[in-house]
């Protein structure tokens, strides 16, 4: 399955006339882009805005008399769209008929998703740039239960690993000792990890293979498009306290541990203050289905890193397996973990993370952890198919 990404951007911005010919009130934000991706079982719509805005998603039943299908809508107060998206953006993937945006009142834009099938939806607000992400799930999706897992995983086992080198391009990530940039470390590590996984017979997809800017939803779209069975986001940590050091591994949860929230805010690209607000939105949302597998994956990779690197290097501190509200994990639809491989703000660890020998050792141990995970899952698949 390939995601159909349609950039429908500013090209349609031809018409300056607003609601009923009214002129645009001052002080409003704009819709700067609308994109959608179709996956097996769900469709993702991303509306980019020049400032944050959104309200609750509401659902309307079909209206046969008016020829209207069942639909979802979200009002975007303080946003002006005028008649730019007057013509619906067709999707037609069996789940969404199309996307419409209109000037509902002089100061509010309404986003409407015309549905073909519907079971469930979720919304997430992202910053930098501001965007509203809505995932719409179709009916064939199984009812979610706590600890439930994705069907393809059970059937296929683990074949494709998606490596996500954190940050890149305009986003350097954490900047540490001697000016080292996290984005270079994560890419270097991914390049060393890739051939090791391939030697284990795994297919590897990377969200980026060079130094380029990539949004969270692009990362997860690449992962889903590659048919990934698991998603590994690579990062390096930072702290004000220069002595802070060690390795920690995260899987998705809405835990509000202070320390996890700080790391999550940084990796989500928002300030801790902004994140506190956004986090409340996230807490209300249902967790990904894959948390049982993500927890297993996190535990195995973490133990392997600690054991392997700890044997060869001094002072490798175990900061543990933790839960955190990471958007990149939330947006991905497969078992997912985020590795904080060391602190760039610590002198020793910054040096190590630039050292090819250390990165090779780290890559080796991550690969071993993933291999262990694969064999555990394969055993379960075999047992189920027996």
Task: Using CB under 5 A, count the residues that bind Zn ion.
Answer: 4
Query: In the structure encoding, which two tokens stand for residue 2, read together?
Result: 């390939």
Residue whose structure tokens are 């995932």:
135
Query: In the structure encoding, which two tokens stand for residue 88, read together?
Result: 């619906």
By CB under 5 A, residue 166 contacts Zn ion? yes
By CB under 5 A, residue 324 contacts Zn ion? no
Q: Which stretch binds Zn ion (CB under 5 A): 71-79, 129-137, 161-169, 214-222?
A: 161-169
Output 16-21 pairs: Cβ under 8 A, ≥24 positions apart: 16/82, 17/82, 17/83, 18/80, 18/82, 18/83, 18/103, 18/106, 19/82, 19/103, 19/105, 19/106
Residue whose structure tokens are 């990149």:
328
Smallest gap from Cβ 310 to Zn ion, in A, equals: 22
By CB under 5 A, residue 173 contacts Zn ion? yes
Among 35, 97, 235, 295, binds Zn ion (CB under 5 A): 235
Cβ distance to Zn ion smaller for residue 267 or 364: 267
Smallest gap from Cβ 183 to Zn ion, in A, equals: 8
Per-residue interface string for the shown chain with Zn ion, residues 117-156, x marking contact by CB under 5 A: ----------------------------------------
Residue whose structure tokens are 């690993």:
161
Q: Which stretch binds Zn ion (CB under 5 A): 232-240, 250-258, 298-306, 325-333?
A: 232-240
Which residue number has the CB closest to Zn ion?
A: 235
Q: Which stretch binds Zn ion (CB under 5 A): 30-38, 60-68, 265-273, 363-371?
A: 265-273
Smallest gap from Cβ 156 to Zn ion, in A, equals: 30
Smallest gap from Cβ 128 to Zn ion, in A, equals: 14
Cβ distance to Zn ion smaller for residue 114 or 182: 182
Q: Which residues bind Zn ion (CB under 5 A)?
A: 166, 173, 235, 267
């Amino acid at each position: 399955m390939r995601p159909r990404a349609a950039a429908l951007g500013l090209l349609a911005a031809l018409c300056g006339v607003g609601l009923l010919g009214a002129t645009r009130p001052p002080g409003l934000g704009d819709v700067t882009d609308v994109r959608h991706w179709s996956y097996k079982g769900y469709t993702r719509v991303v509306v980019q805005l020049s400032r944050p805005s959104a309200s609750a998603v509401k659902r309307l039943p079909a209206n046969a008399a008016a020829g209207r299908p069942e639909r979802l809508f979200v009002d975007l107060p303080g946003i002006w769209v005028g008649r730019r998206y007057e013509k619906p953006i067709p999707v037609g993937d069996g789940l969404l008929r199309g996307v419409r945006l209109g000037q509902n009142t002089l100061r509010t834009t309404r986003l409407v998703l015309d549905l073909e099938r519907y079971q469930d939806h979720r919304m997430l607000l992202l910053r930098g740039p501001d965007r509203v992400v809505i995932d719409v799930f179709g009916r064939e999706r199984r009812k979610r239960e706590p600890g439930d897992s994705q069907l393809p995983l059970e059937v296929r086992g683990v074949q494709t690993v998606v490596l996500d080198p954190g940050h890149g391009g305009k986003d350097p990530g954490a900047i540490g000792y001697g000016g080292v940039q996290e984005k270079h470390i994560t890419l270097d590590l991914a390049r060393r990890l890739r051939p090791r996984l391939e030697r284990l017979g795994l297919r590897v997809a990377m969200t980026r293979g060079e130094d380029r800017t990539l949004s969270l939803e692009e990362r997860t779209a690449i992962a889903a498009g590659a048919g990934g069975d698991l998603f590994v986001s690579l990062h390096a940590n930072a702290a004000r306290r220069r002595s802070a050091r060690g390795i920690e591994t995260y899987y998705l949860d809405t835990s509000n541990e202070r320390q996890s929230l700080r790391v999550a805010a940084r990796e989500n690209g928002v300030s801790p203050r902004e994140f506190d607000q956004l986090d409340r939105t996230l807490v209300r949302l249902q967790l990904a289905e894959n948390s049982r597998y993500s927890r297993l994956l996190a535990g195995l990779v973490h133990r392997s890193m600690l054991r392997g690197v700890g044997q060869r290097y001094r002072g490798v501190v175990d900061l543990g397996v933790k839960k955190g509200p990471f958007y990149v994990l939330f947006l991905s639809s497969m078992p997912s973990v985020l590795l904080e491989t060391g602190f760039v703000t610590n002198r020793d660890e910054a040096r190590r993370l630039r050292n090819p020998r250390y990165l090779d050792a780290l890559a080796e141990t991550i690969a071993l952890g993933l291999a262990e995970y694969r064999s555990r899952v394969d055993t379960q698949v075999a047992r189920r198919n027996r």
